[in-house]
Amino acid sequence: MQLFEQAGRNSSILPVSYWIDALSEDVKQSYIDDNPEIKENWDTQFGDRENQVVFIGKGYNKDDIIVELEKCLDERAYA
């Protein structure tokens, strides 16, 4: 996992952690056994792999941002 941050012209990418689902099956199962809460947000296809996006600033229209991001999820956008 990585953290990407940008503020104006400044940006950085930092390593954060790793995805549990990317570990070997025995190590993954051991981690899940010790931390069962990890399964609360577990996806059947992608495990614990997910992206999170946070916008911080003034003057943004939340609804416009949501519409534009949802267009990225539309399969027709890739045709």
Q: How far apart are CA 30 and CA 34, in angstroms?
A: 6
Q: What pTM, to 2 d.p., does this model score? A: 0.59
* Total count of domains within the chain: 1
Interior angle at CA 49, CA 43 and CA 17, nearest 5: 140
Range(s) of the domain holding residue 21 = 2-78
pLDDT tens digit sequence for 13-28: 999 988 999 999 999 9
User: Which class for 38: exposed (0-12), middle (13-18), buried (19 or more C-beta within 10 A)?
Assistant: middle
Q: How confident is the model at residue 64 (pLDDT cuts 50, 70, 90)?
A: very high
Other CB atoms within 10 A of residue 48 CB: 19
Q: Is 79's pLDDT higher than 80?
A: no
